[in-house]
Amino acid sequence: MSASVVSGRWSGGLVLSLLVVLLVAPSPAPAKSFDFLQIVSSLADNVITRLYREDEIELLGHYCTISRTPYFYKWELNFRATSRCPDWTTALGKAEGYVNPHNAETEATKDLVRKLVERGLVTQEEASPWL
């Protein structure tokens, strides 16, 4: 017998053995389909909760709210924020044109505190920590 016949039989037996193993082995569980819509929805929810914000704060001993919203200006993401104390005054603090959302919120709160001082609802000394 020549070496090529032995190696041919050997490789044929190997292929046959692999074929039998594949046929007898249990099939894997069906793969879960890729849900692109769920990924986009999850991503959108994450982005929305990070960009938009409504929160409650205590300002000078009173219940107040602060909110921010994003907008685009000249292809750049900016933020505007408002701050108000509905149970105390009708004054409204506003800020817009900030790239940093935290800065927009801080400036809206400062604007509200300045208006409270102007209206005589708080003294300059009481307001100084917020300014």
Using one digit for the tens of pLDDT, what is the confidence trace for 55-101?
898 888 889 999 999 988 889 989 999 999 998 888 999 999 999 99
Where residue 32 falls among pLDDT bands split at 50, 70, 90? low
Closest among 128, 101, 103, 102 to 114, alpha carbons compared: 128
Distance separating alpha carbons of residues 84 and 125, to the nearest angstrom: 20
Split into its structural domains, the chain has a count of: 1
| Residue 18 pLDDT | 57
Q: What sign for the dihedral angle of Cα 34, 36, 37, 39?
A: positive
**pLDDT above 50: residue 20:** yes
Q: Comparing 8 with 45, which gets the higher pLDDT?
A: 45
| Residue 89 pLDDT | 87
**pLDDT above 60: residue 3:** no
Residue 28 placed within a domain: no
Phi, psi of 96 (to 5 degrees): -155, 165
| Residue 80 pLDDT | 94
Residue 31 placed within a domain: no
Identify the domain containing residue 78 by its residue range. Answer: 52-130
Cβ proximity of 104 and 81 under 8 Å: yes
Residue 37 placed within a domain: no
Alpha-carbon distances, residue 129 vs 24, 32, 42, 114 (angstroms): 76, 56, 39, 12
Residue 29 placed within a domain: no
Domain containing residue 91: CATH number: 3.30.160.320
Distance separating alpha carbons of residues 69 and 74, to the nearest angstrom: 16
| Residue 114 pLDDT | 92
